[in-house]
Amino acid sequence: MKILAIETSCDETAVALLEASGGLKTPRFKILENLVASQIKIHAPFGGVVPNLAKREHLRNLPILWQRIMNNELRIKSKNKKFIIHNSKFVIPKIDLIAVTVGPGLEPCLWTGINFAKELYGELRIMNKELRILGVNHLEGHLYSHLLNSKFYILYPAISLIVSGGHTILLYQKSLTNYKKLGETRDDAAGECFDKVARMLDLPYPGGPELEKLAKRGDPTSINFPRPMLKQKNYDFSFSGLKTSVLYYLRDNKKIEKKDVAASFEAAAIEVLLRKTLRAAENFKARTIMVSGGVVANRELRKKIRVAARRKKLNLLIPDFQFCTDNAAMIAAAGYLSLLRGKKRGLSARGNLSI
Ligand code: KG4
Ligand code: ZN
């Protein structure tokens, strides 16, 4: 099955073309195209995402990315009979499913992706009456992003941590498609906290990766920032207290080594994420832990979780770098599973959609 996926929930315009097979038992994905048009340069002068600018860029980028996908497909397989000549002008790959993110995210941005997907559906359906379209939950995209890795195996039950710019969620997974939420952040998401602390340290947008770079040169034991909610037995998180302590530290101390602040903050944030995940794994007798979302691009987090999983003899699943931050390949993976499960999600933007 060939899946075209579209992702425009925030500041990355992403379009992907995948081949999916294996069904719900052994889903496998071959990535034909995974295009991401980053808007970093546009938003950088403002220090964060400006929703209207993001929407404008999505509108501009979507047709360009789609055109590039068609051109590449044409170049690679121009003699392949799978292609359909339309109006004797356009050569269009045969697509079986269009999967588009419907939430959570910035609603004006989500709508650009949804409307583009609907338009394409209208055009492509003329040639393929079997074509289907469905809305995908962005968080399920992250949850299933490890399925895009070339090699993996999963032993259930599993504990899954989704940690991005908008969310910090712990889930218990009984099987691939049977999961329940254990806890989430009560205030800021971990990625948001990285971004805000980065801004306090005058680092350029986007803050997370910049903070990581600075932290690498610093001493993580130099400042003892709080580890919020670590002592509480629930699976919720809170990051705004940690952010505020960094703010007070910067305000109250004259001689500051920014690299030590960055390293100490990073250590505190990672320790909270890790210890809560490991505790859930122990209490639920999980055999696997999975981590996903933009913050998982952080090398220190990846390293620490690898060490911890080995020590606890837990199977660990981490998406490849390119599948941690927002992309459309993960939306195709989640779309494939939704389709097989017969789950239908309407095609309207839902900014606060949860998992
Ligand atoms: O998943 P994602 O691309 O978008 C959302 O769904 O939110 O995650 C983006 C978040 C941002 O807050 C960004 O600063 C953070 O992931 N991030 C990082 C790193 N790379 C991205 N945080 C810490 N270290 C990184 N290397
Ligand atoms: Zn995301």
CB distance 122 to 98 below 8 Å? no
Distance (angstroms) between ligand 2 centre and the Cα of 136 equals 12
Position 150 scores a pLDDT of: 84
Backbone angles phi and psi of 128, in degrees to 5:
-140, 100
User: Which pLDDT belongs to residue 94?
Assistant: 84
Give the 3-state secondary structure of residue 287: coil
Ligand 1 center–CA 294 separation, angstroms: 3
Ligand with minimal distance to 294 CA? 1
Backbone angles phi, psi at 166, to 5 degrees: -115, -15
Instruction: Walk across the sheet containing 28-38 and list its strands.
Output: 28-38, 12-21, 2-7, 97-103, 132-137
Q: What is the pTM of this model?
A: 0.94
Burial of 336 (0-12, 13-18, 19+ CB in 10 A): buried
User: What is the pLDDT at residue 77?
Assistant: 62
At 231 the pLDDT is: 86
Position 127, amino acid: M
**Ligand 1 atom nearest 324 alpha carbon:** 1
Please report which ligand is nearest the Cα atom of 262.
1
191: which strand partners? Answer: none
What average pLDDT does range 189-205 have in this prediction? 95
For a substitution probing ligand 1, which of 169, 325, 353 has the most ligand atoms within 8 Å of its CB?
325
Q: What is the pLDDT of residues 50-70, one digit of tens each?
A: 999 999 999 999 999 999 998
pLDDT at 87 over 50: no
Nearest listed ligand to the Cα of residue 324: 1
Residue 326 or residue 79, greater confidence:
326
Distance CA 331, CA 145 (A): 8
Average pLDDT, the chain: 93
Ligand 1 contacts (CB < 6 A) are 10, 164-166, 191-192, 194-195, 206-209, 212, 293-295, 297-298, 325-326
pLDDT, mean of residues 271-285: 97
User: Residue 44 pLDDT > 90, yes or no?
Assistant: no
Alpha-helix runs per DSSP H in the chain: 40-43, 51-76, 107-125, 138-143, 190-200, 207-215, 240-252, 258-283, 299-311, 329-341
Give residue 192 CA to ligand 1 midpoint distance, Å: 8
Q: Which of 11, 295, 353 to mutate to test the pocket of ligand 1 (most atoms within 8 A of CB)?
A: 295
Q: Which atom of ligand 1 is nearest to the CA of 142?
A: 1
The percent of the chain in helix, strand and coil, each rounded to the nearest 5, is 45, 20, 35
Range with the poorest average pLDDT among 87-101, 129-143, 146-160, 254-268: 87-101
> In whole angstroms, what is the distance from residue 312 CA to residue 309 CA?
5
Tell which phi-psi region holds residue 38, choosing left (phi > 0), alpha (psi between -120 and 50) or beta: beta
| Mean pLDDT across 188-210 | 95
Reported as a pLDDT band with limits 50, 70 and 90, residue 17 is very high
**In terms of DSSP bridges, do strands 288-292 and 315-317 run parallel, antiparallel, or are they unpaired?**
parallel
Q: What is the predicted pLDDT for the residue at 91?
A: 58
Higher pLDDT, 86 or 93: 93
64-73, 192-201, 315-324: range with lowest mean pLDDT: 64-73
Angle 207-215/190-200 helices, nearest 10 degrees?
70
Cα separation, 67 vs 89, whole angstroms:
14
- Residue among 55, 111, 38 at smallest CA distance from 351: 111
12-51 burial code (b ≥16 CB/10 A, e <16):
bbbbbbbebeeeeeebebebbbbbbbbbeeebeeeeebbe
User: Token pair for residue 140?
Assistant: 């399920």
The pair phi, psi for residue 214, each rounded to 5°, is -65, -40
- At which residue do the structure tokens 């705004």 appear? 240
Q: Confidence band (pLDDT; 50, 70, 90) for 290?
A: very high
* pLDDT (0 to 100) of residue 92: 67
45 backbone dihedrals φ, ψ, rounded to 5°: -60, -20
Ligand nearest to the CA of 209: 1
Q: What is the pLDDT of residue 88?
A: 43
CB contact at 8 A, 61 and 13: yes
Q: Which residue, among 170, 151, 148, has the nearest Cα to 160 in the 3D structure?
A: 170
Q: How far is the CA of 23 from the centre of ligand 1 (A)?
A: 30
Give the span between the Cα atoms of 200 and 180, in whole angstroms: 36
Q: Ligand 1 pocket: which of 164, 272, 354 to mutate (most atoms <8 Å of CB)?
A: 164
Return the amino acid letter for 341.
Answer: R
* 89 alpha carbon – ligand 1 mean position (Å): 41
